[in-house]
Amino acid sequence: MELGLCIEMALTKLPFEQRFAAAARLGFKTVEMWFVQDLSWNGSPEELAALAKAAGVRISNTVVGAPDGSLGGGLTNPAKREEWLARARLTLDFNRRAGIPATIVCTGNVIEGMTDAAMRQSVLDGLKATTQLAEEAGVTLLLEPLNTRWDHAGYFLTGSDAGADLCRAVGSERMKLLFDCYHMQIMEGDLVQHIRKNIDVIGHFHSAGVPGRNEIFKSEVDYRFLTAQIKAAGWNKLFALEFAPSMDDTDALRQTIDWLGGTTF
């Protein structure tokens, strides 16, 4: 299993362009980012690819739009479908040109006046349309359930089983589930059983300490035990850190790497 790093929550005191090399110096070979425009990067895909290559890291994934739908329109609202697909096309084209293999999709928030069934159908319809674009671009979509108790009030998709069912309903190898251990510990717990149940459609993992979303060695979740169980379930790909350090970033990341036993473990 390889340890990845989200450079949107750690190393943030550095300019975005400098975080790649800083991650590499700590031993990371893979990093991830959020938006391809607006907040993270305003250069070309080719320039970003060259920057990552020069630093000696790969970029694993981006994010299509804001979780609440404020950027990209979201999937829950069918009236904003064209806004969503336009944002998806922009992101998928960027990923393709930059050689980034995946991008995260969020459902958007609950829409007042719509039933859960109608919102689920809208999400499913939107995911199917987006998956067609992703298949053409050669990019994998990662559907992310989030917690509504502390971080994303009003978000629609809050459980891993519901997310996995949507991925299976789409029925494409380009549609996978992002299992964020932090969010799912808050919303459902029983992480090992949920992971075992849905490992067939999981495409990526995120992690952070609970509570606080800080270092994973400061957590009610025993991440050393959890990662061993994930490996036993057959996962040997990326397991990414997406936490906000509660101490100096470099110290936090070094201690995390040492605690886990390296950036491959």
CATH number of the domain residue 177 falls in: 3.20.20.150
Task: Decide if 60 is inside a domain.
Answer: yes
Angle CA 68–190–207, to nearest 5: 50
Task: Decide if 135 is inside a domain.
Answer: yes
pLDDT digits over 4-14, tens only?
999 999 999 99
pLDDT digits over 104-123, tens only?
999 999 999 999 999 999 99
**Total domains present in the chain:** 1
Burial of 161 (0-12, 13-18, 19+ CB in 10 A): middle
Would you say residue 130 has pLDDT above 80? yes
Q: 256 and 262 in contact (C-beta within 8 Å)?
A: no
Task: Decide if 265 is inside a domain.
Answer: no
0.75 exceeded by pTM: yes
Task: Decide if 82 is inside a domain.
Answer: yes
Would you say residue 158 has pLDDT above 90? yes
Per the structure block, which two tokens stand in for 186? 């808050």
Would you say residue 38 has pLDDT above 80? no
pLDDT reported for residue 206: 98
Calculate the dihedral angle through the C-alpha atoms of 140, 146, 151, 152, rounding to the nearest 10 degrees: 90
Task: Decide if 188 is inside a domain.
Answer: yes
Task: Decide if 202 is inside a domain.
Answer: yes
Q: 71 and 35 in contact (C-beta within 8 Å)?
A: yes
Question: d(Cα 265, Cα 219) in Å, to the nearest integer?
Answer: 19
Range of the domain at 40: 2-260
Q: 199 and 235 in contact (C-beta within 8 Å)?
A: yes
Task: Decide if 245 is inside a domain.
Answer: yes
Question: d(Cα 147, Cα 149) in Å, to the nearest integer?
Answer: 6
Note every long-range contact of 233-236, with CB atoms under 8 Å and residues 24 or more positions apart, other chains counting: 233/195, 233/196, 233/199, 234/199, 235/1, 235/199, 235/202, 235/205, 236/1
Q: 98 and 49 in contact (C-beta within 8 Å)?
A: yes
Question: d(Cα 82, Cα 135) in Å, to the nearest integer?
Answer: 18
pLDDT reported for residue 37: 84
Task: Decide if 43 is inside a domain.
Answer: yes
DSSP string computed for 157-196: ---HHHHHHHHHHHT-TTEEEEEEHHHHHHHT--HHHHHH
Question: d(Cα 92, Cα 134) in Å, to the nearest integer?
Answer: 7
With cut-offs at 50, 70 and 90, classify the pLDDT of residue 40.
Answer: confident
Would you say residue 75 has pLDDT above 90? yes
Q: 213 and 182 in contact (C-beta within 8 Å)?
A: yes
Would you say residue 41 has pLDDT above 90? no
pLDDT digits over 198-249, tens only?
999 999 999 999 999 999 999 999 999 999 999 999 999 999 999 999 999 9
Task: Report percent pLDDT > 70 for the chain.
Answer: 100
